[in-house]
Amino acid sequence: MSSYLNCYEILSDLRREINEYSTALVQGTDTSGAYSNAYLVRKINDAQGYLYSMLLNKKPEIFLKSTTITGVASVFALPADFGTLLVFKDDENRKIFPINIDKLKIGTSSGNSRLYYRKGSDLVMDKDGITDTYTLWYYWRCRDLDTGTAAAGAATSITLATTAKPILNYYTGMDIEDITQSFVNEITAYTAARVATITGTAVAADYYGIVPELPEPFRFLIASRAALTIKAKSPIYLDKTNIEAEYKLFYDEFNETFKAYAGSKEDIDQEEIWMDLEATGPRSPGIVQSS
């Protein structure tokens, strides 16, 4: 039994919900199931993103972060979990403002030290030669989960499976559970070759699961949301008789979890939550409501 509800455990729960569970299917040693693990993990990540969006709209401060970033020739690399920029301040706590590309410095001008523009995963100052450390306030983004077997392992490192993102720093700051060795570590560095730096010792072929960053009380909903999507949309899943009731159960569970997480009953009214979620609630596309 794992310590955390990581991607391995969520995949197990999802397979139980769609009535296609075995340890061999979850671990990929049996590939005879109607749904591949790759497909199911995509649905898990879709469900996680959906929950993230619901929470971000309702209680955005959950996802608020600040960090310091240092300029290299006026280029500031954004953190791996960067989602939406809120405030960018210089080393004197003055706000730096975005600038339109057509307003950039021209000719031999050194540019304006209070202006920046976005270029890919970097913030670039209009003024040349800035190497100071600035402060960034932002909403962190929801990063995809992954599970599988380690391609390699050693003291303080684990090489993830080919299903993991081969993007520098993608999982940096996230937790990973080595299920075989029974430890949970934070990933302190991650390379494009899928090598994660940890504090434990991993071994090749260890089963692992990335731990969601969503608030812990909401993580149990990931598998049920993914199962709903599969049951409603997959042509393989033919029995759709209970989907409407399952949608209602999902939103009931979300609402009650949100009430408990966000505050007392005096803080949040049940009717208010349902009204706020009306557009994405039980009347989901493709689901016919009974009269």
Indicate whether 286 pLDDT > 60.
no
Tell me: the pLDDT tens digits for 28-44?
A: 999 999 999 999 999 99
Give the mean pLDDT of the chain.
89
261 — pLDDT class (breaks 50, 70, 90): very high
Does pLDDT of 50 surpass 70?
A: yes
Q: Decide if pLDDT at 251 tops 70.
A: yes
Q: With pLDDT > 70 as the criterion, what percentage of the chain qualifies?
A: 87
Would you place residue 105 in the very low, low, confident or very high pLDDT band (cuts 50, 70, 90)? confident
C-alpha closest to that of 189 among 207, 213, 163, 168: 168
For 63-140, CATH gives 2.60.40
The burial of 89, by beta-carbon neighbours within 10 Å (0-12 exposed, 13-18 middle, 19 or more buried), is given as middle
Structure tokens at 202: 């991993």
Confidence of residue 110 (pLDDT cuts 50, 70, 90): confident
What percentage of residues in the chain have a pLDDT greater than 90?
A: 79
Q: Give the angle 145-212-225 at the CA atoms, nearest 5°.
A: 80
- pLDDT tens for residues 131-187? 999 999 999 999 999 999 999 999 999 999 999 999 999 999 999 999 999 999 999
Which tens digits make up the pLDDT trace of 203-250?
A: 999 999 999 999 999 999 999 999 999 998 887 776 677 888 999 999
What does residue 60 show for φ and ψ, rounded to 5 degrees?
A: -65, -25
Tokens of 38: 């790759």
Is pLDDT at 289 greater than 50 in this prediction?
A: no
| pLDDT of amino acid 24 | 98
Structure tokens at 230: 């599969």
Report whether 214 contacts 55 (CB < 8 A).
Answer: yes
Output the pLDDT for position 268: 52
CA distance 120 to 66: 20
- Does residue 284 have a pLDDT over 50? no
Q: What is the model's pLDDT at position 275?
A: 53
pLDDT at 277: 54
Look at residue 236 in the predicted model and tell me its pLDDT: 76
Instruction: Answer with the residue of higher pLDDT: 31 or 289.
Output: 31
